[in-house]
Amino acid sequence: MNFLAIDLGATSGRTILGSIVEGKLEQRELTRFPNPIIETGGHFYWDILALYHEIIQSLKKVANEGIDIESIGIDTWGVDVVMMGKDGGVLRNPYSYRDPHTEGVMEDYFQQISKEEVYEKTGIQFMPFNTLFQLSAMHSHHDSALEAASKILFIPDALIYMLTGEAVCEHTILSTSQFLNPRTGRIDPELIGVMGLDEQHFGRYVMPGEQVGRLTAEVQQMTGVGALPVVAVAGHDTASAVAAVPAENERFAYLSCGTWSLLGIETQDAIISEKSFEYNFTNEGGIEGTTRFLKNICGMWILERCRKEWTDAPADVRQISKDSMEAEAFQRFIFPDAPDFANPTSMVEAIQNYCQKTNQPVPEDYKAMARCIFESLAMRYRQILEYLKEMAPFPIERLHVIGGGSQNSHLMQMTANSLGIPVVTGPVEGTAIGNIMLQAKAAGLVKDRFEMRRMIADSIEMKTYLPQDTMAWDAAYENYLKLTN
């Protein structure tokens, strides 16, 4: 059977043909396209119609190549929403989460409902771009699209609506909003009532793996494909990626390692406590009713920004990583989540200034700076894992790493050394794989998430890193904590 995964990221999108052949998963990229943020009138927008157009083009390619596909699934980034009018049309391109209109809105919102109460209701970490605060900002600014909206749909749900005419609200993407109550599985009426909204403004609730509709006659005519089913996969890309973690049992942590790092565990129930509030952990929806209990960490973003400034460094990240091993170990650490590294004019200067103000040797070349970044990330991963161990309902025996960062062998070995547990890498392209496998589950090819994961493990190449030099890393970790507290 063949399945079409539409995987949309915050910089680019792609469509992947996934095939199940003799119990193994095969993939082929059909199309790839940019997804730029559009700046106009002092705001930042996504072009939802351009994304729809690219999906139509991929379906045309499916028809032209005579590919017989079973279903379609869409995953995207979280939090952003599209305002739909009473006639079913898009009222305006949606704001990007990078839009500045939410500045200061969290503090204003907490004047109506306290921060503690919001966390108690949702268990979601506080970030100004969460949908709750985007809608609050729009409400405060008397946004014309919000005031005229008949439906408010998250990005994957809006695209499903444009393809099928069905207005749905998929569980995992809704969980990024900060107004889903994980205990009830529904939108908390008090949190959105502040903006004059209620449940009727959103689509009907659906869970990952549920068929939600078929392509409209218009889409069929434009593309040449038939009335294909559209499956609500894990609409949030991180949820699809975690679905693809090839774990044997529940006793694992996962790390989605890319521009951002997301480190967490998969639990049956949300973890909402004084500790999770203090550490600012988040409870997002997973597949089969699970919760992704995790924390966002500033990841390879720091390295990516430095690479743009380094004039003497090789272009290949793998070579930079190899060269960094020539620098002396444990000479300096940064706190990756410090505001200093959020979006500085110069990342190189930000690192040098941080080292200077914490009385550490200032790195002068790319090798020392890269080693500092990798070691600091490995230490931060340990710090978050220590928090997870305090709150997890089971022992954490290994770390599964997915995403592009899993290909950095030096960082992965450092992570194993720092954490003191095995680190297993793969798959690199977890999001599309999770999307495809949830469609396969909907088609009856696998029965549950662990059968999905066994098939994935049989279909991909994995590598295991075992801890080394743990005594030296333990001592360096104590120094890291002193320097970054």
Task: Enter the pTM of the model.
Answer: 0.92
Q: Grade residue 17 by pLDDT with cuts at 50, 70 and 90.
A: very high
Q: What is the pLDDT of residue 274?
A: 96
55, 30 in Cβ contact below 8 A? no
The proportion of the chain whose per-residue pLDDT surpasses 90, expressed as a percent, equals 96
Span 3-8, average pLDDT: 98
Q: Is it true that the peptide bond before 314 is cis, omega within 30 degrees of 0?
A: no
Task: Report strand pairing: 71-75 vs 229-232.
Answer: parallel
Q: What is the pLDDT of residue 10?
A: 87
Q: What is the pLDDT of residue 485?
A: 85
Q: What is the pLDDT of residues 396-428, one digit of tens each?
A: 999 999 998 999 999 999 999 999 999 999 999
Q: What is the pLDDT of residue 11?
A: 87
Could you tell me the domains of the chain? 2-235 (3.30.420.40), 238-426+462-485 (3.30.420.40)
Q: What is the pLDDT of residue 288?
A: 96
- Tokens for 284? 């997002």
Q: What is the pLDDT of residue 221?
A: 98
Across 17-39, b (16+ Cβ under 10 Å) vs e yields bbbbeeeebebeebbebebeeee
Q: What is the pLDDT of residue 466?
A: 98
Nearest to 219 by CA among 233, 235, 230, 204: 230
Q: What is the pLDDT of residues 89-140, one digit of tens each?
A: 999 999 999 899 999 999 999 999 999 999 999 999 999 999 999 999 999 9
The proportion of the chain whose per-residue pLDDT surpasses 70, expressed as a percent, equals 100
Q: What is the pLDDT of residue 342?
A: 83
Span 159-167, average pLDDT: 98
452, 440 in Cβ contact below 8 A? yes
Other beta carbons within 10 angstroms of residue 465's beta carbon come to: 21
Span 190-204, average pLDDT: 97
Q: Grade residue 307 by pLDDT with cuts at 50, 70 and 90.
A: very high
Q: Grade residue 343 by pLDDT with cuts at 50, 70 and 90.
A: confident
From start to end of 258-395, where are the E strands? Answer: 260-267, 282-285, 291-298
Q: Grade residue 259 by pLDDT with cuts at 50, 70 and 90.
A: confident
- Tokens for 460? 């991909």
Q: What is the pLDDT of residue 40?
A: 96
Looking at every residue in the chain, the average pLDDT score rounds to 97
Nearest to 398 by CA among 463, 347, 334: 463
Q: Which positions are catalytic?
A: 237
